[in-house]
């Protein structure tokens, strides 16, 4: 067991946990088609767009050396699986909010975040808006499932390999 673990930078830790909370809230307050047109889910939009806004600073902080090298406790295949899992989460952190933004624009629902008006990224249509809405919903569910598996792997590392993985991302 390593004595001195290298932790993620404070900025990456702050963004990691804020993103996790924002994704969870966005998911819990999400609503489907008809009700979106009738009552725009402002909190859903705000949390989802905040998730998107945090991706770029997160990637910059990583490139600037804020992430420690991967722990090799589970062998090279598990290191590769963790890298692919993290990449998939990053992909969803961009794709889910973007498809949601597109869906809201197609539905013609104004995105007014407590006074801050966010422009539409597509022309509004009447009736059905096409597959983007389903893609967004599937992506929204997928991100929760993947994050659950990711959290389970983190716990597995911590308590089975005893490599102190969780401490690398511990806020305090
Ligand atoms: C990580 C962020 C997000 C997650 C996890 C997420 C998740 C979801 C889920 C699960 C649904 C389906 C709800 C249901 O049918 O009961 C949904 C619907 C929706 N979301 Fe998101 N969402 C996110 C971000 C966003 C953003 C940023 C926007 C817009 C700015 C947005 C706009 C919408 C719209 C318009 C719908 C309704 C689509 C339809 O039924 O046609 N979402 N979202
Ligand atoms: C929506 C929820 C979550 C998302 C999107 C997410 C995403 C990520 C990503 C992309 C990384 C790679 C490092 C980085 O670039 O920041 C990471 C690392 C990590 N996450 Fe999460 N995470 C979520 C929830 C959780 C939860 C609930 C736990 C609790 C067990 C957790 C524990 C960790 C740990 C310990 C690491 C560091 C792994 C290592 O040392 O390589 N995450 N997470």
Q: What is the pLDDT along the chain (172 residues), one digit of tens a residue?
A: 445 789 999 999 999 999 999 999 999 999 987 789 889 999 999 999 999 999 999 999 999 999 999 988 889 999 999 999 999 999 999 999 999 999 999 999 999 998 999 999 999 998 889 899 999 999 999 999 999 999 999 999 999 999 999 999 999 8
Q: Which two tokens stand for residue 26?
A: 């966005």
Instruction: Give the three-class secondary structure for 146.
Output: helix
Determine, yes or no, domain membership for 89: yes
Please give the C-alpha separations between residue 75 and each of 78, 80, 85, 94, in angstroms, as whole numbers.
6, 9, 15, 29
Determine, yes or no, domain membership for 127: yes
Number of domains comprising the chain:
1
Give the domain range for residue 52: 10-167
Determine, yes or no, domain membership for 50: yes
**CATH number for the domain including 88?**
1.20.950
Pocket test for ligand 2, best of 150, 153, 170 (most atoms within 8 A of CB): 150
**d(CA 97, ligand 1 centre) in Å:** 7
User: What is the widest separation between alpha-carbon atoms in the chain?
Assistant: 61
pLDDT of residue 119: 98
Taking the mean position of all CA atoms in its chain, how far away is CA 108? 25
Looking up tokens 């597959």 gives 131
Beta-carbon neighbour count of residue 128 at 10 Å? 10
pLDDT of residue 98: 98
Do residues 32 and 40 touch, judged by C-beta distance below 8 A?
Answer: no
Looking at residue 66, the DSSP 8-state letter turns out to be: I
| Lining residues, ligand 2, CB within 6 Å | 12, 16, 19-20, 23, 62, 67, 70-71, 82, 86, 89-90, 93, 147, 150-151, 154-155, 165-166, 168-169
């Amino acid at each position: 067991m390593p004595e001195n673990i290298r932790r993620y930078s404070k900025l990456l830790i702050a963004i990691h946990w804020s993103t996790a909370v924002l994704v969870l809230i966005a998911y819990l307050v999400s609503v489907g088609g008809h009700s979106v047109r009738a009552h725009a889910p402002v909190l859903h939009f705000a949390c989802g767009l905040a998730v998107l806004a945090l991706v770029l600073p997160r990637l910059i902080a990583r490139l600037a050396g804020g992430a420690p090298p991967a722990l090799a406790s589970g062998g090279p295949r598990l290191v590769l699986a963790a890298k692919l899992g993290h990449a998939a989460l990053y992909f969803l952190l961009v794709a889910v909010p973007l498809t949601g933004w597109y869906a809201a624009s197609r539905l013609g629902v104004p995105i007014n975040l407590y006074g801050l008006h966010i422009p539409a990224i597509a022309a509004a249509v009447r009736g059905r808006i096409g597959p983007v809405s389903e893609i967004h919903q599937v992506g929204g569910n997928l991100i929760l499932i993947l994050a659950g598996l990711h959290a389970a792997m983190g716990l597995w590392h911590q308590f089975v390999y005893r490599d102190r993985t969780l401490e690398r991302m511990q806020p305090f």
